[in-house]
Amino acid sequence: MGVFDHLISDIRQILFPNAEQDAVPSMDGAFSPNDRLDACEQLGPPLPGADDIAVAADGTLYVSAGRDVIRLAGPAHGERSVVASFDGAAGGLAVHPDGRLLVCVAGRGLAAVHGGAGGAPQVQWLEAADGRPLHGLTGVTAGPDGRIFATVGSSRHPAERWLHDLMEKGRSGYLVGCDADLGAASILLDGLAFPGGVAVAPDKQSLWFTESWSHRVLKAPLAASSRLGPVDVVMRNLPGYPARLAPDGEGGLLLALVGVRTHLIEFVLREDDYRREMMANIPEAYWIGPALGGSHDCLEPMQIGSVKALGIQKPWAPPRSYGLLARIDTDGEVIESWHSRAGGHVHGVTAACETPAGVIVVSKGNGRLVIAREKSL
Amino acid sequence: MSMTTWNAMSGAARRFSPRLLLSELMMKQWFEPVIPFLVMIGLALYFAATIPDYASVANSVSLLRLFAEFGFVALAMAVCLISGGIDLSVGAIFAIGNFAALFFLLVLGWPTWAVIAATLAVGGVLGAFNGFLIGYLKARPFLTTLVTLIILRAAVNLLNGAYATVFATNSPDSAVWDFLGEGSVLGIPINAATLFAVLLVGHLFLSRSRYGWHLTAIGASRKAARHAGIRVRLILFAAYVLSGILCAAGGIFYAARQASTDSTTGVGWEFQALTAVVLGGVSLAGGKGTVWRAMIGAIIVFMLTNGLVRMGIPGYITSAVIGVILLAAVGIDVKWTKNRGKAVQKTYVNPAAMPLAPAPSVAAASGTPFAQNDRLIHAEAIGVDQVEGPEDVILDRQDRLYGSTRDGNIIRFSGLRFERREVFAHIGGRPLGMQFDKDENLIVCVAGMGVYGVKPDGEVFKVTDETNRTWYKLNDDSRLRMADDLDIGPDGKIYFSDCTTRYEMTTNTLDILEGRPNGRLVVYDPATRRTRTLINHFYFPNGICVAHDGRSVLIASTSLCKIFRHWLEGPRKGQTEVLIDELPGNPDNINRASNGDYWLALVGIRTPTFDLATRKPGFRLRMIKQVPTDEWLAPGLNHGCILRFTEAGEVLESWWDPTGISHSTLTSMREHKGYVYLGGLENNRIGRIKVDGADPAWTGYEAYWGAGRRDGR
């Protein structure tokens, strides 16, 4: 990328100011920063690698963490037991209306787990759709008629190498649909910028999914046939990278954002030669990019605003990792949001689910579950 | 460690950058008329090439004679523009002056000196009329002088009609008058010579006299000038009187040269003069301009009019050309005035590639002397939340602890556990590096001020705040911008770093991001009270330490991540060599250790992404432009450490706080009686750790001035 390319990009920015991308929106209105996530009560001991959460019809919670799916039962979800273990990391989770547990297993595909209360659980696999593998599944959900929908973040990288996909500006994700018995799997939508999660809207009429790298939430009407209706953008230019969606129990949805966009990351995404060299020569942990949780390694990139002043880390410092959960209505308007800012300890929120006791939030960055008992409205 | 002499600082590293040159040029007041000046030269060359005999001496002299009267009128216009107003009646007053001179001479028959005095008085009175309306009655200059223009022009036409025949039939019989019309001084036409003299006086008046400054101040902001106590009304009045007198002076020379008057005398000159001075760079908005700029513009307009006529181009086209030029000049003037600061700002920072050495590993398991550990996490904390960013710390002979803080204070802790806090001295600025001299004065580097001293009783005195200016630099670098750290040689000379000459304390991050050798090593000699620059062009010199033997001085380069040794004595005197080439972070202060080694603080740790950015100047430039300041990439400033290294530059061990909880932005450390005290640029405390093997009796003062000296004096 020479001087000439930068000149052209400058000219393009002047001529088409809205063409390539939007400026990082400031977090205001319902996205106004707060410390609500940090104020939340932690649910049980830490759960390293916690990724997704699903609630069964009887109120039992399932959490994927590492290679396991864990059942949280009993009063205050205090009893933990491993339901299933896999060879790869267990990611997206959903409970099928018929009671099966749907698990996205990295490197393999979609597992449908039967029963398992008494004997060993039986696992049925879906490993390909239209001839393409399902190694990088990120989220799964089941429709009212039993049909199953799942998202593959990227066809170039496994799910845990999501940062590579972001830095390559990947648009190779796809949305897969199959029947309740895992048959007739097909790719419904292709060329998505890392779809991070999928959910059926509370009114059961449409399928919602996120596109993390293009900061959007989209929806498509659920048609009777195996196809989807036309896709609509519900939310665009979000301040963070949207991941999983879940019903909030009040007619809206909970939207987890795994990290927030910063000017520096957006800048690096425009600087092709710098990014290419960074990816080639620097270990991934030290890249300029969003992280799930801070490791406080001195070799991580540092920004001026993050310098501690008089021993204090400013909460408004440019965040490398951040915790953000939003509650949205079916028009895509944000109703309220929960934050854990720079220096907080509930970062990298990958999922959340509504329970009678409150919203349970999965912080993958800090490997813990917290429970938000109060909603603002 | 190889001892290679470091030459890159002076030559190759000081990479030429056209952008940098341009930005520094644009900051200069004198650069503004450069473009009109070049246009003037270009026009002269063009006409010389296309019009036969244009460049001949005879032609030049005759052109000068023709030009001078217009020069007076343009100067009059310039004075009014600088005052923030405008005088449209200059052409009319010029015509009145012309008429009056002839009238006094031919009709009243007065002697020449009386004619001159009376004509100037007429101009002055007419100008006073404008001045009274504008200065005292606060009338709008544009409308007021437009009205005077119309009235005076009508008056001239009436008077001309009445006296034309009288003027035509009489001829003056005065040698002095003829000299005014056709004489020369040293080969220069008398009117041009007078103009030049007036310009000289005018220049001194505008740029060197109180009233000239007042005039400019009023033009820049009338309200501010009034608040500053300037007599706005009187000065404005005087400006228009001056304008009238200058026009009348032009009229006298015109009368003497032409000895006739007609209805076209001075018609349209107000617009030509306006075009001229704006073209020359006198701002329409007021408050900015010099007599020379006015003259450059006047010469351009005059040459154009004259040259186009001689090329046979009809007069109305010439007028149109002048009109277009006025339009362009006004447009450029408005844009330039508004955007000059922005243009400078946009081009001022010019990142260059930095020749960084590879960074050694700091991984805990790496086995290098830099391997991370947690030896600082449990450092004893002194004065938590009682000091704001002690950049440097030092102890005196009475074991009292001093910290230089961001509020401009020197804070002193005393008592067995340093429980007593007091403000030892308030200097102001941003006190940074400190050292005690032989008389126990605390010498302090103060960013934004220079080098200051504090006597043991707390009295503050200035040591120095300037050094010799680099003759070839456009930026005046005589002032000390950001004195950072100092040390004192055995002979009492104070060696200190001025870490940047292009930025300030608040913007020094830009210097690091720019990555150019903008800093310097300066020495102050108390014997001669002279300050001079020892090494010019140094990459962000920070920590300074005179070696134990006093024969060399160690310099830490924060942006280049190296330690240098500059020889003060011996066979390599005057040479600078690299002492430590590869450091994993950005070095800050250096101080002596009791065993003959040195302590070094690393304020920041080099991150792979920042190192990559140092190799990509374009990336850094665009980052500065496109990304907000708070989000710029920085070295890892929350994870500092201190190191100990030998005289030969070998790093032995390191002390870390990998969490950054107790000691972030670690900038200094000072050994004292078996302990090492820690200071941080942005920290809220001073730390203290006990060091194994450190001499429990060793103090800095004794090592410099007492029995602990190792310099053999």
pLDDT grade for B12, boundaries at 50, 70 and 90: very low
Say which CATH number the domain at B522 has.
Answer: 2.120.10.30
ipTM summary value: 0.92
Which residue is listed with tokens 């001087």? Answer: A3
In tens, the pLDDT along B384-397 reads: 999 999 999 999 99
> What is the C-alpha end-to-end distance of chain A, expressed in Å?
50
Task: Assess whether B256 and B393 both reside in one domain.
Answer: no
A61-65: strand order across its sheet: A50-55, A61-65, A68-73, A79-85
Record: contact B658-A6, CB cut-off 8 A: no
CA distance A212 to A258: 9
What average pLDDT does this structure show over A234-255? 93
Euclidean distance between CA atoms A350 and A324, whole angstroms:
9
Q: Is A264 on the interface with B (CB under 8 A)?
A: yes
Residues of A in Cβ contact (< 8 Å) with B610: 301-302
Does residue B394 share a domain with residue B263? no
Confidence of residue A73 (pLDDT cuts 50, 70, 90): confident
Q: What is the pLDDT of residue B226?
A: 92
Percent of chain A with pLDDT over 90: 69
pLDDT for B3 equals 43
3-state DSSP assignment of residue B634: strand
Find all residues with CB under 8 Å of B625, minimum gap 6, and list them: B346
Q: What are the residues facing A128 on neighbouring strands?
A: A133
Q: Does A302 touch chain B (CB under 8 A)?
A: yes
Percent over 70 (pLDDT), chain A: 94
Query: Best interface-test mutation with B: which of A1, A7, A298 has the largest number of B CBs within 10 A?
Result: A298
| Domain end call among B275, B304, B339 | B275
Give the residue with greater pLDDT, A10 vs A26: A26
Please list every residue in chain A whose beta carbon sits closer than 8 Å to the beta carbon of residue B639: 296, 298
**Between B16 and B570, the higher pLDDT residue:** B570
Q: Say how far apart CA A236 and CA B168 lie, in whole Å.
A: 86
Domain assignment present for residue B82? The answer is: yes
First to last CA, chain B: 29
A44 in contact with chain B, both atoms CB, cutoff 8 A? no
Q: Around Cβ B234, how many Cβ atoms within 10 Å?
A: 14
Domains of chain A with bracketed CATH? 3-296+313-372 (2.120.10.30)
| Average pLDDT of span B635-642 | 88
* Mean pLDDT across A176-185: 90
- Dist CA B294 CA B287 (whole Å): 14
Say whether both B483 and B610 belong to one domain: yes
Q: Which three-class secondary structure state does DSSP give residue B174?
A: coil
Alpha-carbon distance B203 to B713, whole Å? 58
B interface with A, Cβ–Cβ < 8 A, is 362, 372, 385, 388-389, 509, 604-605, 607-610, 612-613, 616, 618-619, 622-623, 626-639, 658-661, 664-665, 682-685
Q: Do B608 and A281 touch (CB under 8 A)?
A: yes
* Cβ contact B280:B297 at 8 Å: yes
Of B362, B607, B637, the CB nearest to A300: B607
Does A272 reach chain B within 8 Å, measured CB to CB? no
A261 — contact with chain B (CB < 8 Å)?
Answer: no
Q: How many domains are there within chain B?
A: 2
All residues at 6 or more sequence positions from B610 whose CB lies less than 8 Å from its CB, including other chains: A301, A302, B633, B634, B635, B636
Q: What is the pLDDT of residues A187-233, one digit of tens each?
A: 999 999 999 999 999 988 899 999 999 999 999 998 776 678 889 99
Q: Rounded distance, CA B138 to CA B140, Å?
A: 6
The answer to whether residues B535 and B670 belong to one domain is yes
Hey, are the CB atoms on B665 and A307 less than 8 Å from each other? yes
Mark whether B513 and B391 lie in a shared domain.
yes
The answer, yes or no, to whether residue B5 has pLDDT greater than 70, is no
Of B618, B632, B685, the CB nearest to A303: B632
Query: What single-letter DSSP state applies at residue B103?
Result: I
Query: Nearest-CA distance from B289 to chain A in Å?
Result: 35
Read out DSSP for A159-176?
A: GGGHHHHHHTT---EEEE
Residue of B508, B512, B606, B627 for testing the chain A interface, max A β-carbons within 10 Å: B627
A10 in B contact zone (CB under 8 Å): no
Name every residue whose Cβ is closer than 8 Å to that of residue B534 and which is 6 or more positions away in sequence. Answer: B495, B520, B521, B522, B523, B566
Q: Does B98 map to a domain? A: yes
- Amino acid code (one letter) for B439: D
**pLDDT given for residue B487 in this prediction:** 96
**Do residues B266 and B402 both lie within one domain?**
no
Where residue A22 falls among pLDDT bands split at 50, 70, 90? Answer: low
Q: Give the model's pLDDT for residue B6.
A: 56
Contact call for B633 and A277, based on CB within 8 A: no
Instruction: Decide if B609 and A282 are in contact by the 8 Å CB cutoff.
Output: yes
Q: Which of B234, B320, B340, B370 is nearest to B656 (CA)?
A: B370
The percent of residues in chain B predicted with pLDDT above 90, rounded, is 61
Give the list of residues 6+ apart from residue A90 with CB closer than 8 angstroms, or none: A51, A64, A65, A66, A67, A68, A69, A84, A103, A104, A105, A106
Work out the pLDDT band at B14, boundaries 50, 70, 90: low
Separation between Cα atoms, residue A193 and residue A287, nearest integer Å: 20
In a domain, B81, yes or no: yes
Q: Testing the interface with A: which of B508, B610, B616, B638 to mutate, by most A Cβ within 10 A?
A: B638
For B238-282, the pLDDT digits (tens) are: 999 999 999 999 999 998 888 777 778 888 888 889 989 988 888
Query: Span A101-113, mean pLDDT?
Result: 93
Q: Label residue B509 exposed, middle or buried (CB < 10 Å: 0-12, 13-18, 19+).
A: middle
Which of B362, B411, B612 should we substitute to test contact with A (largest number of A Cβ atoms within 10 Å)? Answer: B612
B507 vs A contacts (CB less than 8 Å): none
Whether the pLDDT of residue A18 is over 80: the answer is: no
Last residue of a domain, one of B216, B241, B275: B275
Size of interface A-B (CB pairs under 8 A): 118
- φ and ψ of A38, to 5 deg: -65, -25
Task: Over range B576-604, report the average pLDDT.
Answer: 94
Bigger pLDDT: B10 or A340? A340
Domain boundaries, position B257: 50-275
Query: What is the rounded average pLDDT of the residues B303-320?
Result: 85
Report the distance separating Cα A69 and Cα A103, nearest Å.
8
The mean pLDDT value of chain B amounts to 89
Q: Best of A310, A313, A314, A322 to disrupt the B interface by mutation (most B CBs within 10 Å)?
A: A310
| Cβ separation B636–A308 shorter than 8 A | no
Closest partner CB to A304 (pick from B389, B509, B639): B509
| Tens-place pLDDT, residues B105-132 | 888 888 889 999 999 999 999 999 999 9
A303–B607 CB contact, under 8 Å: no
End-of-domain residue from the set B231, B257, B275? B275
Q: How far is B390 from chain A (nearest CA, A)?
A: 10
The answer to whether B609 contacts A277, with C-beta atoms less than 8 Å apart, is no
Task: Note the maximum CA span of chain A.
Answer: 67
Chain B residue at shortest CA distance from A303: B633
pLDDT value, residue A117: 56
Distance, in Å, from the CA atom of B266 to the CA atom of B671, rounded to the nearest integer, reads 82
Report if residue B692 sits inside a domain: yes
Within a domain: B339: no
Convert the pLDDT of each residue in B42-96 to its tens digit.
888 988 888 888 888 888 888 888 899 999 999 999 999 999 999 999 999 999 9
- Residue A119, pLDDT score: 61
* Nearest residue of A to residue B664, measured between CA atoms: A308
Across the strands, what pairs with A218? A209, A233
| Contact status of A304 with chain B (Cβ, < 8 Å) | yes
Give me the pLDDT at residue A21, please. Answer: 57
CB contact under 8 A, A303 and B661: no
- pLDDT at position A17 is 67
Better-predicted residue by pLDDT, A118 or A366: A366
Chain A closest CA to B636's CA: distance in Å?
5
pLDDT attached to residue B305: 86
Task: Give A287 to chain B, closest Cα distance, Å.
Answer: 7
d(CA B340, CA B26): 8
B109 and B252 share one domain: yes
Q: What pLDDT, on the 0 to 100 scale, is given for residue B89? A: 92
Q: Are residues B260 and B386 in the same domain?
A: no
Predicted confidence (pLDDT) at residue B2 exceeds the cutoff of 60: no
Contacts A278 to B, Cβ<8 Å: 608-609, 612
C-alpha separations of A295 from A36, A279, A339, A365, B391 in Å: 22, 19, 19, 9, 27
Is residue B438 assigned to a domain? yes
Is residue B62 domain-resident?
Answer: yes
Residue B682 lies in a domain: yes
pLDDT tens, B544-582? 999 999 999 999 999 999 999 999 999 999 999 999 999
Indicate yes or no: CB of B626 within 8 angstroms of CB of A267: yes
Confidence of residue B473 (pLDDT cuts 50, 70, 90): confident
CA dist B294 and B75 (Å) reads 6
Region A331-340: what's the mean pLDDT? 94
Task: Find the mean pLDDT for residues A75-99.
Answer: 90
Tell me the residue length of chain B: 713
The whole-number pLDDT of residue B1 equals 35
